[in-house]
Amino acid sequence: MKALLKKSMSLVLAVGIAGSLAACSAGSSEGKSADKDASGSIKLTLWDQSVGNTDPSAKLLPEIIEKWNSEHPDIQVDRSGTTGEQYKTKVKTSLAAGEAPDLFYGMGGGSFMQPYIESGNVLEISSYLTDDIKSKMGPGMAEAIEVDGKIYTLPVYTHIANLYVNTDLFNKAGAKVPTTYTELLDAVEKLKAADITPALIGEKDRWPGMYWYDIIAMRQAGNEAVIEAFKDPSKWDSPEFVAAATKMQELAKAGAFNSSMFSMSYDEMLGAFNAGNGAMMFQANWVNAGIEDPSSAVKGNVQVIPFPTFEDGKGKGTEIFGGAVDGFYVSNTTKHPKEAVEFLMYLSEQLGTQGYLAGAGLPSWNIDGLDTSSLSTLDTSAADIMKTATSFIAWWDNILPADSAETHKNLIAELLAEEITPEEFCKQMAQLKPTELKL
């Protein structure tokens, strides 16, 4: 595993998150969420987005905080969880108003956190980190979390996206698990003929559909071409990306996706897949725990594989979608930076190691001595896929500037709905702003 992380993190660094983005105004008021209670104990507030019933982090966070609070009566932590898109809005609003909690979860990979780092909303924690803390991280992690030589967060998990295949439904349909685009189309046809929904998308939240287009574009054009297009958006309007959009729409027209996709949320998509109501799902390895949960109808019948390669594509199966390191951040308005960073260290290591064993993500901390025998086949398969990686591209909505990310997701929804042609899609993609990250 050490070799795995050392290799992978060096590749993550190749698509590093450093860059200059439009600055947001730093909160000038003191943190309003940190204070002392009547007993004189310091009170820290923590916000996160782990609230799903099958999210291992949602189960672990209360346990970790309860243990911290019992062992640190002088520093008490109060946690609040909010789901996905609502969470992003909540954090953005609070940071802009100078009313952020002492600590909060931040999506890895670039554009979500970068404006707040650039504008001074986030506490730099470099001076708090000792060599002992760094030695507990996985190989390459200390370097992976640096932004222009400074550290603002500690790693928790690493996630990569792959194709989840319900082998039971594939067998019923007489379909072959696809390794190429042609085989993917053939599987869709056989699954449809067997009255099985080939693949599920929770497009109500838009980003699940984005995952499909983005991996199709990476397989069609190759990671190098995608990175160049992030820098020069005019390159989105090129034959490779038109071909990718054509394939995305071809799959939709072939009935590859659930007819309910525009009214189905991400959570509902997970529920439908875990209930056995769809044969494929393209998602990150944070879904593993839910699939393997005892309540899941598909437990033991799901295989995770790299997304198929294309006969006419330049992308390789070893070019990975994902790889960003997620973590928690300390607000620069906290009244108790030392105590907040102390808790950040505890939280990051505890959640990172316990969460890995619970199937929440690939590890970012030293796992020597941990009993990994309980890991599911999905967890070990995802780790094996990561070992093969030759390059990574993180979630596109974290690489594109925020307004362009929204446009990107909306265009994909329109493409799926056949409201625009692949050519129109690419011409509008060419109007996006270039990334401000250093790729």
Residues 325 and 157: their CA atoms lie apart, in Å, by: 6
pLDDT given at position 10 = 39
How would residue 37 be classed by pLDDT, with cut points 50, 70 and 90? low
User: Taking residues 303-311, what's their average pLDDT?
Assistant: 98
pLDDT given at position 219 = 98
Scan for tokens 């507030």, then name that residue.
Answer: 45
Mean per-residue pLDDT over the chain, rounded: 87
pLDDT given at position 36 = 63
The structure tokens listed for 48 are 């996160």
- Whether the predicted pLDDT of 24 surpasses 80: no
> Among 48-57, 153-162, 253-262, 296-305, which is the least confidently predicted range?
48-57
Comparing 381 with 144, which gets the higher pLDDT? 381
User: Taking residues 83-93, what's their average pLDDT?
Assistant: 84
pLDDT given at position 111 = 66
- Whether the predicted pLDDT of 108 surpasses 80: no
Distances (CA, A) of 22 to 15, 105, 112, 155, 197: 19, 21, 11, 25, 43
CA atoms within 13 A on the CB side of 21: 29
CA atoms within 13 A on the CB side of 419: 7
Residues 183 and 256: their CA atoms lie apart, in Å, by: 13
Length of the chain: 439
Q: Which long-range contacts (CB under 8 A, 24 or more apart) does 256-261 make?
A: 256/188, 256/198, 256/199, 257/197, 257/198, 257/199, 257/200, 257/201, 257/416, 258/197, 258/199, 258/200, 258/201, 261/200, 261/201, 261/202, 261/203, 261/204, 261/209, 261/416
How would residue 80 be classed by pLDDT, with cut points 50, 70 and 90? very high
pLDDT given at position 65 = 97
- Whether the predicted pLDDT of 189 surpasses 80: yes
One-letter amino acid at 334 equals: T
β partners of residue 160: 322
User: Taking residues 143-167, what's their average pLDDT?
Assistant: 89
pTM confidence score? 0.76
pLDDT given at position 51 = 84
pLDDT in tens, 411-436: 999 999 999 999 999 999 999 999 98
> Among 22-26, 85-89, 383-387, 390-394, which is the least confidently predicted range?
22-26
pLDDT in tens, 393-408: 989 998 998 899 999 9
User: Taking residues 330-358, what's their average pLDDT?
Assistant: 94
